[in-house]
A and B are shown apart, each in its own frame.
Chain A
Amino acid sequence: MTSVELELRQRQAQAGIYGTIKAMLHRLGFTPLGLALLVGVAVLPVVPYFRQEHILRWLVAGALLAGQAAAFDFTAGYINVVNFGFAAILGVGAYTSAILANEMPFLIVQPGISPWIGIWIGGLVAGLLGLGLGWLTLRLRGIYAAVMAWFVGLALLGLVRNLTPLTRGALGLSPPTLLPGAGNLPYFYIIFGMMLVVYVVLRQVTLSHVGLAFKAIGQNIGAAKASGINPTYYRVLNFALSCAFAGWLGGFYAHYYASLTPATLMHTSKTVEVLAIAYIGGRGSLWGGMVLAFPFVFFIQHLRSTFTDLPGLHLVIYGALMILVMIFYPDGLSGLWEATLEKVRSALSKS
């Protein structure tokens, strides 16, 4: 009897520890599986295949896309406004940091500020821009807000293209890298860390009462107002945060790829790429797009290197996937996962 009781107590204690850890993880916004996936990606470079420089570049691209998808979903999935000028805002962050780092005589300013500082300023500028964009789209809902954000994005793109003394226009900039002469491995850990920061911060916000207010505004703005939620404050806050992270990631882009042109960075099609990942991953989940980003980048890159004679095939697949998801499974990957979990649970409880 005593031995049975002891075992039971031990089990309870174990469950208690496990439960506490799980609860702590949940507070940070991770499930055990999610954390395992993250650790898995983080140790990928140990595998020789992933240590090749061009594969590391794909991992960097994956983490960058994952961070963008989370930042995009923060607006699209929570307050239900599609920020169609997302890529342009990201571009402004990238350009800000690149111009601040400039030491070359072909621009009218040569501040020569270290990129390590510049990317924060880029994020700040993008955040302020997001504040403005949030305010501009405040009175607009749904499609009106999306189109307004699109117009703002186009105006920003045009502005960057035209302010040639600062940006060299369509010629583009070649800003200095974060770690001159370094390989891709340290960059991977930098962007991986940045991606984690984006996720954890945004998750903290969505888990708090602010996130609840976002969801309320996204679902029914009238009812949210009636419950005493001030949509102005929350919408502007949401835009500012999302755009600040976009600009911050843009700064990394600038000082990693060391090549910026308005068309490759700020074009509407760039927004669509992020949007497609965020929606296929599942709106309103933050993690759906992040989980999808890594395999997706690998798939796309393999496709590109296999069918070099078919440029744009990967983009066709992008669009086709997006169409299929919109029609057949608008909840996306995260929705599919939740539904499967629910099924498994109900099956277990029945048996």
Chain B
Amino acid sequence: MEQKTSLADALRETISENLAATIILVATAVLAVWLGISAGLSQVIISLVTGGMWALMAVGLALVFGVMNVPHFAHGESFMVGAFVAYFVFTPIRDYLAQNPNPALTAVAPFAGMIAAALAGAVLGVILERLLFYPLRIKSRAGEWVMNAFLLTVGISFVMTNGARLLIGATFRGIPGYWLVPPLEILGTRIAVDRVMAFAIALVSIAALWFFLGRTRTGRAIRAVSQDEVGAQMMGINLNFIFPLTFSLATAMAALAGASLLFMFQAYPTVGLTPLYFAWFVVMMAGLGNVAGAIVGGFIVAVFQTATQQFAGIAWTDVIPTALMIVILLVVPFGIFGSEMEE
């Protein structure tokens, strides 16, 4: 009995402290239930799968902003790179397996594409950080860094999208699916294995990141830098190690998202724009630089998106969530979970 009242008190306190977050969370839950009742459970599961992927994208964005103060506008291009790498690694293996059937290899072949994509993303992240952000950080005047970094990523995005068009060409490269097996039956709805796997991959990667940031020495160092750069340096943390690592982690996660969603988003030079847009959506709503908020936010935005698709038609998925977002930002300019950033 005593415990119950304290729980209620704690709940009341949380709600009054963070009204906006509570309202949004309750609204999302109601929307999800409504979606489930009116459109079937499959829509809820689709929201979950998409949510996992937006969370995976948004976590990288939040991490890069939280640690390096970089508003990363080229995050979608990491997604694009992941999609292309996965395509070019996976399709030859698939074609080979079509000639020489091997059930065990067929089951694990998709992972080869995804791991290759994540590795490529990690390498790309290190290269970008060392080649571009490092010199910018040295040259940038105090107070101009955030905006300069933002414009730098705009340039990177432009070069990468058009470079991909130049080198690979503007053709859609997609696959019908990674695991071409009958869909699974979950709670009476049929759902493709690829979707289930994409969700699992997102969850596992986010959990791994969470463990890394919370439990390992290096992860704690990253968090220390995000809280106080100068203080962290005084404790002997080497920023020239932390920054490339952070950027590489974020890029690898976006590339992994691109790879595991190849069955939904065909590889194309500008494929990254939609994921970028939704990832920004998530971090703006959750509060820039808030990694935990980005995970929750991913699912909230996915529910908004699926509900819009369901109730207003696919053409409105750009407009209605954006309008909602603008309203939310008007009320809570620094996100529903608040942000550690001050300017």
Task: Give the interface of A toward B (CB within 8 A).
Answer: 80, 82, 136, 139-144, 146-148, 150-152, 154-155, 157-159, 161-162, 268-269, 272, 275-276, 279, 310-313, 315-316, 318-320, 322-323, 326-328, 330
Contact = CB atoms under 8 A, between A and B. Distances in A.
28 contacts: A82-B150, A142-B147, A143-B150, A144-B329, A146-B71, A147-B284, A148-B329, A152-B322, A154-B318, A157-B318, A158-B315, A159-B319, A162-B315, A162-B319, A275-B154, A276-B155, A311-B165, A311-B170, A312-B163, A313-B166, A316-B166, A319-B155, A320-B159, A323-B159, A326-B152, A327-B135, A330-B139, A330-B140
Contacts of A319: 155-160, 162
Interface in B95-121: none
Given A143-B147, A312-B165, A316-B162, A158 B325 contact: no
Contacts of A310: 166
Interface in B288-343: 288, 315-316, 318-319, 322-323, 325-326, 329-330, 333-334, 343
Contacts of A154: 277, 318, 322
A225 to B, nearest CB: 14
B288 A143 contact: yes
A284 B139 CA distance: 19
A326 B70 CA distance: 14
B193 interface: no
Given A158-B319, A312-B162, A323 B325 contact: no
B136 interface: yes
A158 B158 contact: no
Contact of B151 (A147, A320, A322): A322
Ordered nearest first, which 4 A-B pairs have the shortest CB separation? A319-B158, A158-B318, A319-B159, A322-B155
Contacts of A279: 151
B144 interface: yes
Contacts of B160: 319
Nearest to B329: A148
Contacts of A150: 280
Interface residues of B, number: 45
Nearest to B150: A143
A323 B326 CA distance: 30
B67 to A, nearest CB: 15
B155 A144 contact: no
Contacts of B165: 311-312
A144 B330 CA distance: 11
A155 B71 contact: no
B237 interface: no
A158 B326 CA distance: 14
A320 B155 contact: yes
B139 A311 contact: no
B77 to A, nearest CB: 11
A45 B336 CA distance: 57
B10 interface: no
Contacts of B197: none
Nearest to B163: A316
B252 to A, nearest CB: 22
Nearest to B169: A311
Given A312-B165, A313-B166, A328 B139 contact: yes
Given A143-B150, A310-B166, A323 B318 contact: no
Contact of B273 (A158, A268, A330): A268
Nearest to A279: B151
B318 A151 contact: no
B161 to A, nearest CB: 8
A1 B9 CA distance: 100
Nearest to A320: B159
Given A316-B159, A330-B140, 4 more contacts: A158-B316, A158-B319, A312-B163, A319-B158
A139 B335 CA distance: 13
Among B140, B146, B316, B329, the most chain A Cβ lie within 10 Å of the Cβ of B329
B200 interface: no
B318 A155 contact: yes
B102 to A, nearest CB: 40
B42 interface: no
Contacts of A162: 315-316, 319
Nearest to A271: B154
Contacts of A316: 158-159, 162-163, 166
